Amino acid sequence: MDIRALISQDSFWVVNKKIVKQIGLEQALLLSILVDKVHYFESRDMGYDDGEHLWIFWTGEDIEEETCLKYRKATRILKSLEDLGLIHSK
């Protein structure tokens, strides 16, 4: 395993402590990952922009791989973010 890949900037998540205090650690982590994902899609002119939201495609398998969370747990966290009005999903 390449140690440089392990410690590169892309190997870390950034989580805002103020957001953690407001919505919880897991919610803040997943929200941070989603923000990065949306930025990725926007920078490559990907996703679907309906004029109000940028819709991205994120499979259960991708969620597990990128977050280290089981899909069912991630789904519950995503639902709580939606209930808070922070994200929209279909």
CA 73 to each of CA 13, 28, 33: distance values in angstroms, whole numbers, following the listed order: 18, 14, 15
Distance CA 60, CA 78 (A): 12
Q: What is the mean pLDDT of each run of 10 residues along the chain (90 residues)?
A: 66 89 95 88 82 81 90 95 91
Note the pLDDT of residue 75: 94
Note the pLDDT of residue 50: 82
Note the pLDDT of residue 8: 63
Note the pLDDT of residue 1: 64
Residue 47 buriedness (CB in 10 A; 0-12 / 13-18 / 19+): middle
Token pair for 49: 């922009």
Note the pLDDT of residue 6: 64
Length of the chain: 90
